[in-house]
A = this chain, B = another copy of it.
């Protein structure tokens, strides 16, 4: 096992790599040329202009102000400066609540760390189990870290009572923090929903599985049904077209357009030589043709095809899927329809809240009930396979991709491979690289599985994918690191052990893996977060696009990739840190400071990112919080069982009787919180709907809701290609006046106002008040 100094070295290396990332970020972001990579959020809000409009030519690309380099860490206090209500308005509730997860981590683990270091570390350190063992076995080696962990307490010692009591204290503190956070988030959500401006989804319900009718079209059938069953509230509806083929055409056309732009630019720069391309796949082979003519022609053909397809979809009744967006005259009417059962056959006329228009996943709107059930079954089996047989295809590819295999497929590489150093490189790194590739592909695979399951909103897809990924990390990373062997071998092992044996097996090897997880926290947590802020991939992509495709300011806007919080991947990863912290809190307290540093650093970085970078694709109003809460509770229960198993191997007196109420209490706490809060995230109370309706009726008595909702739920391809990626309807900023950028500097205590400086330590004071709708 590693000693304290080993850990210190590892910490130094990882801190260094984190600092390198941070330094690179600090320097690159000061360059005006990277401004759109590191501050896209402000461009999207229309508050920041391109720095190219003023200043000398050099100044456009490189920042020459030396003073600013000296303050390269100033982004940290800047990130903390924006108060939470402003943050919610600026970045949305989802993002604001997302970074509260890190804050929750700090809230839970700071006191726990202090307590463990105050109580458990002294108890462990004076335990002298190793000294005794050493007296018996001369060759036993142990490190300082082990002396600080529970391993240094002798089996059956009364000192274990300290650990048991602390486990109760930690659990109760976690309860308190969780309950408090759930309460706050609920309040934030309620406040957010109450303050939200008018949005189409407040009035709209998604109706799926409209039953077929011989006499009526889908549209007529929907209208009749809702006119009869919601006579006082039904307003209008929008049928859903199966425009998947059309959407593909639009996407293809866009890509062709990019190529055309690329070759046009190339031609403009070198007017002496017309660029050519090959007609085959990716321009790699095939006939050599004039590129500009070729793509112009291709686009023309596609435009015609698109036109006819558009005609077909709009006129062919079979292109209408049996689903519709039904709008109501009031939020009350929509809330009622979304929460009740319409027909006595529960598999038809299924009503749910409509997602935001930009949140709709159009491909899945037309899946019938039985097919949906079969898909879920298949995906459940597939998920099981993915988690427990994850290593099988990797091992298979790894055996294929050995030296002999490569030499067989690419004989011309033989002489190169046979060189000693290359050979060892391939043998050493290839398996690792293959594993890494699989791991990178994994979120895509999981997302595809969720899509096959048939969810109709992007937010639902992300939530479900997060659940799957969480399970994967739990089994393949957490358990997989503690017990060596593939998940399938673990499963076999578990099935052949008794239920009381499993926590023992896992529990006993937990203290031994502490140093591994400390390193893991530093590599994946510290360096990973630093890499996050550096944004390498968007940086490269932006500059590539900027060089080859951008002609106008509008092109540059499109080349900018703000990205968004990848909920489906990040949240399960945070959960892993919660789990590690909870599991090791009573076992090896030394791990806790590393977790605390991770949470603090990540909070800082992500707060900066959501202020300056990310642009969320949709706004769910923190609907994900019950999942976060549930997964932390799962981690808590796992930690309790493992600790119980560990105690049993330590022959602790009465440990089972003393500890068994803990998971029961935890489960009860989960049920209690679920009953107390969850429905506020799932249903829309009539009281609130009525309040908003009444207020709106008083303030805007002449509102024509029908016109307002007319085009809200039209498939994006029918809105013209420019609006394809960003439908106008819901963009809350559109009617707020574009405010001239004003940045307030706080430099050495005095305040300056500067019109177009790109420095970073500033607060945007835009006219926030004008946007607070009813």
In the complex, whether A283 has a CB less than 8 A from a CB of chain B is: no
A381 touching B664, Cβ below 8 Å: yes
Q: How far is the CB of A346 from chain B (nearest CB, A)?
A: 4
Chain B residue numbers with a CB within 8 Å of A513 are: none
In the complex, whether A373 has a CB less than 8 A from a CB of chain B is: yes
Chain B residue numbers with a CB within 8 Å of A377 are: 664, 668
**Please, what's the 1-or-0 string for A637-673, where 1 marks a CB less than 8 Å from any CB in chain B?**
0000000000000000000000000001000100110
Chain B residue numbers with a CB within 8 Å of A668 are: 373, 377
In the complex, whether A232 has a CB less than 8 A from a CB of chain B is: yes
Instruction: Tell me which of A130-138, A337-345, A620-628, A742-750 binds B.
Output: A337-345
Within 8 A of B (CB), among A336-391: 336, 339-347, 349, 369-370, 373, 376-377, 381
Chain B residue numbers with a CB within 8 Å of A341 are: 339, 679, 683-686
Range for the number of chain A residues in contact with chain B: 35 or more
Determine which of B346, B373, B498 lies in contact with A497 in the assembled complex, contact meaning CB atoms within 8 Å: B498
**Please, what's the 1-or-0 string for A173-184, where 1 marks a CB less than 8 Å from any CB in chain B?**
000000000000
B496 touching A496, Cβ below 8 Å: no
Q: How far is the CB of A388 from chain B (nearest CB, A)?
A: 13
B685 touching A344, Cβ below 8 Å: yes
In the complex, whether A735 has a CB less than 8 A from a CB of chain B is: no
DSSP majority for the A interface? helix
A340 touching B346, Cβ below 8 Å: no
With A346-B677, A381-B664, A683-B341 known to touch, is A690 a contact of B495 (CB < 8 Å)?
A: no
Q: How far is the CB of A657 from chain B (nearest CB, A)?
A: 13
Chain B residue numbers with a CB within 8 Å of A228 are: 687, 690
In the complex, whether A335 has a CB less than 8 A from a CB of chain B is: yes
Q: How far is the CA of A687 from the CA of B351 in the complex (A)?
A: 13
Closest to A228 in B: B690
In the complex, whether A190 has a CB less than 8 A from a CB of chain B is: yes
Q: How far is the CB of A223 from chain B (nearest CB, A)?
A: 15
Chain B residue numbers with a CB within 8 Å of A736 are: none
Closest to A344 in B: B685
Chain B residue numbers with a CB within 8 Å of A344 are: 190, 680, 685, 687-688
In the complex, whether A55 has a CB less than 8 A from a CB of chain B is: no
Most buried by B among A336, A342, A343, A680: A336
With A336-B336, A497-B498, A671-B373 known to touch, is A690 a contact of B346 (CB < 8 Å)?
A: no
With A340-B683, A340-B686 known to touch, is A347 a contact of B676 (CB < 8 Å)?
A: yes
Chain B residue numbers with a CB within 8 Å of A343 are: 685, 687
A346 touching B664, Cβ below 8 Å: no
In the complex, whether A308 has a CB less than 8 A from a CB of chain B is: no
Q: How far is the CB of A351 from chain B (nearest CB, A)?
A: 10
With A381-B664, A680-B346 known to touch, is A229 a contact of B690 (CB < 8 Å)?
A: yes
Q: How far is the CA of A341 from the CA of B688 in the complex (A)?
A: 10
Chain B residue numbers with a CB within 8 Å of A690 are: 228-229
Within 8 A of B (CB), among A450-509: 494-501
Chain B residue numbers with a CB within 8 Å of A501 are: 496, 498
Closest 7 CB pairs of A and B: A346-B679, A341-B683, A344-B685, A339-B340, A341-B685, A496-B498, A495-B500
A-B contacts, 20 of them at CB < 8 A, read: A190-B344, A225-B687, A228-B687, A229-B686, A229-B690, A342-B686, A343-B687, A344-B687, A346-B676, A346-B677, A349-B687, A369-B675, A373-B668, A373-B672, A381-B664, A494-B499, A495-B500, A496-B501, A497-B498, A498-B499
